[in-house]
Amino acid sequence: MTAGADRLRPAWTSLPESLRAAALDVIGGEYISDAPAHGGFSATYAGTVITTGGRAFVKAAGADWHADSVRLLRQEIVTLSALPSGVAPRVLGTVQDDIGAVLVVEAIDGRHPGRPWTADDLHAVADALAVVGTTPAPRTLTAADESMVPGFTRWQEIAATPDLRGALPPSVRDSLPRLRELEAEFAGAVRGDVLVHDDVRADNILIADGRAHLLDWPHARRGAAWVDLPCVLPSIEASGGPTCTQAYPVFEEHGAPPPRDLLPVIAGFASYLWAEQSRPEIPQLPGLRAFQRAQAGPALRWLAALV
């Protein structure tokens, strides 16, 4: 599995001139070069920009670009501006106007995990999730028990859709009655008041000096501790790491509850991946469905072993 879409983001020069100028004003100095990020699932510009005054990581999009990508960038600006320091990349400056949006954060020199996954990488990610799960969420974030439904409660939909139901592994298909019961427990399982990233995966993590930095925060919510764990483990397995079952004990060392305590959430994430991977491709986000499909397999195998 590639760590995100196998493509470059839009070029720096494709941004409206006023947005480029705004980013440079934040960094300071004259433009020297930039290195667009490779991969990810957004149609925004994203890359490290170097000027005579410094360097920073910039996300930006014109107001008339891919609507969902622009909306998520604006949401990430709001979210990062509200988070306590030390949890997410430090915000250096933002701009939002009728032309578009710009987010400038500190540039982190690190690597994505999974080439290959190591025990140290797993412990670093587990430590990051433990920090997130003990960080009070800003009250401005949406409540997970309200905003994650119905997106992560899809078993009723899957059971009623012959193609989706028929393509399930037999062990999961035979468990559909139990999965529909778990679906009713999902909202209660994610309810809480701590920070939830809600998109932790290999390509949204940078390892630097032994620490896992969580990137891309537009989906952040207010919910229960360790809600992110069922999201990241299928990504770890799909990107060449240990299976979800094999990796879980590492996270328990950092305070994660037994997997059966998270079963409604594990089932919910699996239903999301299985339903989404079947949807039509989005031209502006090539590779997204294959990426979801690659994680759905590990998620379903893990779920089958637990129900």
pLDDT in tens, 185-206: 999 999 999 999 999 999 899 9
Instruction: Please write the tens of the pLDDT for every residue from 88-122.
Output: 999 999 999 999 999 999 999 999 998 799 999 99
**Those residues with Cβ within 8 angstroms of residue 19's Cβ, 6 or more apart along the chain or in another chain:** 60, 62, 95, 99, 100, 101, 102
Question: What integer is the mean pLDDT of 40-68?
Answer: 94
Q: Which two tokens stand for residue 147?
A: 């905003």
Identify which of 253, 225, 229, 215 has the alpha carbon closest to the alpha carbon of residue 133. 225
Q: In the chain, count of helices (H) and strands (E)?
A: 13, 9
Is residue 42 within 8 Å of residue 30, measured between CB atoms?
Answer: no
* Interatomic CA distance for residues 73 and 176, integer angstroms: 36
The model's confidence at residue 7, banded by pLDDT at 50, 70 and 90, is low
Per-residue pLDDT reduced to its tens digit, 19-34:
999 999 999 999 999 9
Paired strand residues for 274: none
Q: Tell me how far apart the alpha carbons of residues 233 and 236 are, in angstroms, rounded to a whole number.
A: 5
Type of residue found at 151: G
Per-residue pLDDT, 297: 97
pTM: 0.93
DSSP-assigned states of every residue in 155-193? HHHHHT-HHHHHTS-HHHHTTHHHHHHHHTTHHHHH-SS
Average pLDDT over residues 203-213: 95
